Amino acid sequence: MAVTEPINGDAGADRRRQLLECALAAFTRRGYTASRVDDICVEAGISRATFYRYFESKEEVFDALIDLMATEVLDTAAHLGAVTPDAEGKATLSHWIADLVSITERWGSLVDEVNTPRMSDPAARERAVVLTSRFAHVLSDRFAEGGVTGVDTRMAALAIIAMTERTAHQMRTWDIDIDRSAMVDSLATLAMKMLHPVGG
């Protein structure tokens, strides 16, 4: 399928988004470093000339994907309610953990790349660090609103993000057969014990 619409306007934005999804699929299959512009073109069913109407390079695609990932991550955090020391608080946390696991699986190839020191694109790594910090700040606020005391809520947020992302990474890269709902419930239970040692 060749891209024939102009790159301006809604049609151009839709096609650009479609190319980003194809690039993500190529990066997921081959890894970012091993992927070439040709791999993205094959995935999208377009020519190199069409690709270059939308992006100047693979690196520009990577940067655009980082921005897209950031939007999804922060949108998930924005919809998180207060994590209270009761069943409702645990359900809220479980829902968020399930979302973060899905995001980590979807964006795994990019997460792997920014977690590996790269001299070629330190800006992308810095943006990922800023994203995690903003994510942790929102999560920290939800913990405080839920009455969490006795622990630094920002440090707790970073720890729970790390625990969840690492578990999702292991599932994805080690091909571990784990029941998804049991894993989410276990992670939420552990997080609640950290946040609300008595009520959780």
Helical H segments across the chain, by residue range: 9-30, 37-44, 48-54, 58-78, 87-106, 108-115, 122-145, 153-174, 180-195
Per the structure, the count of domains in the chain is 2
In a domain, 102, yes or no: yes
- Do 126 and 180 have their domain in common? yes
In a domain, 200, yes or no: no
- Cα 43 to chain centroid, rounded: 22
- Domain containing 104: what range? 60-195
- CATH number of the domain bearing residue 157: 1.10.357.10
- Do 15 and 97 have their domain in common? no
- Do 94 and 173 have their domain in common? yes
- CATH number of the domain bearing residue 33: 1.10.10.60
* pTM attached to this predicted model: 0.76
In a domain, 4, yes or no: no
In the three-class reduction of DSSP (H, G, I as helix; E, B as strand; rest coil), residue 170 is classed as helix
State the pLDDT at residue 61.
93
Asked if residue 26 lies in contact with residue 37, where contact means CB atoms within 8 angstroms, the answer is: no
Q: Please report, in tens digits, the pLDDT of each residue of the chain (200 residues total).
A: 334 344 555 677 888 999 999 999 999 888 888 899 999 999 999 999 999 999 999 989 988 998 888 888 888 888 788 999 999 999 999 999 999 888 888 888 887 777 665 555 677 777 777 888 888 999 999 999 999 999 999 999 999 998 998 888 888 777 777 788 999 999 999 999 999 987 55
- Do 101 and 146 have their domain in common? yes
- Pick from 116, 74, 118, 95: nearest CA to 164: 95
State the pLDDT at residue 191.
95
